[in-house]
Amino acid sequence: MRTSTLSAPLRSSIGPMLHSLLTVLALLVLTACGPATPAPTWTAAPAEQTPLPTATIERSPTPTPSYDDPNEPNDSMLQASGPLVPGQEYTGFISEKDDLDFFYLEIETPQIVSLSLTSIPQEADYDLYLVTGEEDVLADSANSGPQEERIEYTTSSVGVFYVLVLPFDNFSDTESYKLLLELSAAPTPSGEDTFEPNDTPEQAAGPLVLGQEYRSYIWDEGDVDVYFLQLDRASSIQVNLTDITTVADYDLFLSNQAGDLVASSTRAVDREFIEQSLQPGTYYVTIKSFAGFSQNEPYTVRIDLAEP
């Protein structure tokens, strides 16, 4: 029987070495035979998103009204700004399509009134009017577009007159207009009242003839014109007062001989009219000024028989 020739000490040193070598080999085998490392999975990168173009709207800023209109509110005669001072320039604004600007001036003696409206906004068209308190138009200026508006008018009476600025087309609440008043002395009165004095029934001019026109003047604020009429029989008559100056308001009265008022006409327009049935006798026709007068523009009074 063959037996090992290795000595005991040598065997004891080889044993650990062999054990280490086997351990290394086992590790190599495990590594080689172990599960394969999974291949990395490819993920597509997200496509870069291009934002849709956004429309850019450039908005013009709405202009903030920059005006300070010291004349407002002046949208009616009752609110009219004034009195206007000759030679002084006034600034105003038409802030909307229905805006009206009223001013007033006071005339103490007949004058030549000159009005100018300038600096009208480029895209607007304003008109200029001179009117009475009864809204009668004395003069106007209505040029096209932003052209200057100008009025020249000779007053034949005294009192309050009104100036109106209104928009014909378009307006601006950021651009102002300018208004200027100038006054100069009116020509010497051309009227000649041949019936004066006739301020009372005792001084009454007449007798008036049916169908004939009589022309005369209310010369100042206190002037009253009285005429008398005689009827021989019962009649129905018409009394017409016409050609009243546009800057005044005259009234018409009919009284009997005792001074009692029989009829009157106070329409506040350019014509007064009375129709009345009367018994025979003496009657008085009186013309008074409610407002204004004229030394240049005569009124006309006429009496006719009424149609049956």
Q: Which of 247, 238, 243 is nearest to 216 (CA)?
A: 243
Q: Which of 270, 260, 306, 263 is nearest to 290 (CA)?
A: 270
Evaluate whether 137 touches 161 at the Cβ level (below 8 Å): no
Q: Which of 229, 163, 225 is nearest to 200 (CA)?
A: 225
The pLDDT value given to residue 153: 87
Across the range 111-128, mean pLDDT stands at 94
Task: Read off the pLDDT band of 187 (50, 70, 90).
Answer: confident
The residue among 219 and 32 whose pLDDT is bigger is 219
- For the chain, percent of residues with pLDDT exceeding 70: 77
Q: Average model confidence (pLDDT) for the chain?
A: 81
Across the range 52-80, mean pLDDT stands at 67
The pLDDT value given to residue 154: 82
The residue among 264 and 21 whose pLDDT is bigger is 264
The pLDDT value given to residue 308: 66
Which class does domain 77-185 fall in? mainly beta
The residue among 46 and 141 whose pLDDT is bigger is 141
The pLDDT value given to residue 198: 95
Question: Is the per-residue pLDDT at 296 higher than 90?
Answer: no
For the stretch 130-167, pLDDT in tens is 998 888 888 899 999 999 999 998 886 778 999 999 99
Task: Read off the pLDDT band of 22 (50, 70, 90).
Answer: very low
Torsion angle, alpha carbons of 76, 82, 88, 94, to 10: -20
Domain boundaries, the chain: 77-185, 201-305
pTM summary value: 0.52
**Half-sphere exposure for 77 (CA within 13 Å, toward CB):** 12
* 302 CB burial (10 A radius; 0-12, 13-18, 19+): middle
* Cα 7–Cα 12–Cα 17 angle in degrees, nearest 5: 125
The pLDDT value given to residue 212: 97
216 — phi, psi (to 5°)?
Answer: -155, -175
Task: Read off the pLDDT band of 297 (50, 70, 90).
Answer: confident
For the domain spanning 201-305, the CATH number is 2.60.120.380
- Hey, what are 228's tokens? 């008398």
The pLDDT value given to residue 102: 97
Q: Lowest-pLDDT range, 12-21, 93-102, 154-163, 178-187?
A: 12-21
Evaluate whether 205 touches 269 at the Cβ level (below 8 Å): no
Q: Lowest-pLDDT range, 74-88, 147-161, 220-234?
A: 147-161
The pLDDT value given to residue 66: 52
The pLDDT value given to residue 177: 96
- For the chain, percent of residues with pLDDT exceeding 90: 56
Domains 77-185 and 201-305 share a fold: yes
Helix (H) or strand (E) holding 33: helix 8-33
